[in-house]
Amino acid sequence: MKRLSILVSATSVAGFLAAMPAMAAEYTMILAHTLSDTAHPLYKAFEKIEADIEEKSGGRIDVQHQAGGALGGDRELMESLLLGDVQFVPVSTSGAVQFVPEFAVFDIPYVFPSDTTKLRAILNDSDFTGEIEGVLAEKNLKFGGFYNAGFRNLTTSNVAVQSPEDIEQEGLRIRVMENPYHVTIWKSLGGAPTPISFPELYGALQQGVVDGQENPYGHILSQRFYEVQQYLTNTNHILLANVNLINKEWYDSLPGDLQNAIDEVLDEAEAFQWALQDEMTSQQRAQIEEKLKVIDLSEEQLAAFREKTAPVADMVRENIGDDLVDSLMNAVNNQ
């Protein structure tokens, strides 16, 4: 009887221990963004960051991945990041320009090369990179590297756009981000720019609130914009540079070994994302061609878009000064 009692007691203890939750993490890192397509190279990079930080920290950092705008759009996420309520926000530079005005350099049309080796060096390994890092540090943000999400292209519902005149004559309403430079770009091209948050864009296209939008191939596919659009014009006017931003106060509060773990994970994730984006770009083009009528512009046609949007560079210089713009131009010219 005594032996049975001991056996029952031991079994109960084992069951209790098995039911106990794993040891609580020492730190929580909320990683929040607006992307919902799990096949997108950006999303896969975010998943890698989540898994690798938890692994390399030995479970001491609990990464809570909040995707698809679950915690809000770009504005809400940037506000939460700066307040420290969210610790990690990967966001497009255009979506963060309200909070980091210096990101306006990325909104100058037709600046960046299409060669991804050169592009990666400009963004992540140049004097320009160092200046961006310093700008962010002053705003209590830690720079975590730039990702390549491709170049923005125009899609439309009923008009095959081949020139700025096509946009102006039809008075096309083009959805833009809440970004003054994007508004100016489409006004200069004769359109009616309409700011709409990314999570609401599909519905706006479907309901005819806007006639078109501009995003890279990956976003057009992941959000199924091709279901409510008919044409894609390869304008390639702005690079969608995604930047990893971490609340610096939270990062600085971590012990050195955990900071090193995060830095190592971000370095590895950067190489992973750029390689995956390169691999998928040609596939995305083929998929787009199956779903939309694709218009490739000649150099002469592209020149008309460049000419119309050239004043945006002066607007950027006026608002943020010459230094950062010149630094970017030097980095581009040195590649």
pLDDT tens-digit readout, 16-64: 333 434 457 999 999 999 998 899 999 999 999 999 999 999 999 999 9
In order of 43, 202, 300, 322, 332, the CA distances from 327 in angstroms are 30, 37, 29, 8, 9
My answer on whether 30 and 144 are in the same domain is: yes
248-278, pLDDT tens digit by residue?
999 999 999 999 999 999 999 999 999 999 9
Instruction: Specify if 19 maps to a domain.
Output: no
For residue 57, the domain's CATH number is: 3.40.190.170
CA–CA distance, 143 with 187 (Å, rounded to integer): 32
Instruction: Specify if 59 maps to a domain.
Output: yes
My answer on whether 178 and 136 are in the same domain is: no
CA–CA distance, 149 with 227 (Å, rounded to integer): 21
My answer on whether 129 and 253 are in the same domain is: yes
My answer on whether 165 and 201 are in the same domain is: yes
Instruction: Specify if 138 maps to a domain.
Output: yes
120-144, pLDDT tens digit by residue?
999 999 999 999 999 999 999 999 9
Tokens for 93, please give them.
Answer: 């530079």
My answer on whether 33 and 121 are in the same domain is: yes
Tokens for 37, please give them.
Answer: 């397509």
φ/ψ of 256, rounded to 5, equals: -55, -40
My answer on whether 167 and 231 are in the same domain is: yes
- Note the helical H segments in the chain: 2-19, 41-56, 74-83, 93-96, 116-124, 127-138, 164-170, 180-188, 201-206, 217-222, 248-253, 256-291, 299-309, 311-320, 323-333
My answer on whether 137 and 254 are in the same domain is: yes
Instruction: Specify if 272 maps to a domain.
Output: yes
Instruction: Specify if 32 maps to a domain.
Output: yes
My answer on whether 143 and 67 are in the same domain is: yes
Instruction: Specify if 104 maps to a domain.
Output: yes
My answer on whether 142 and 157 are in the same domain is: no
Instruction: Specify if 15 maps to a domain.
Output: no
Count of structural domains within the chain? 2
My answer on whether 91 and 185 are in the same domain is: no
Structural domain span for residue 220: 153-238+288-333
- Note the helical H segments in 139-241: 164-170, 180-188, 201-206, 217-222
Mean pLDDT (whole number) for 309-330? 97
φ/ψ of 275, rounded to 5, equals: -65, -40
My answer on whether 128 and 55 are in the same domain is: yes
Query: Model pTM?
Result: 0.85
Instruction: Specify if 266 maps to a domain.
Output: yes
My answer on whether 83 and 135 are in the same domain is: yes
Among candidate residues 214, 208, 209, 206, the one with its CA nearest the CA of residue 231: 214
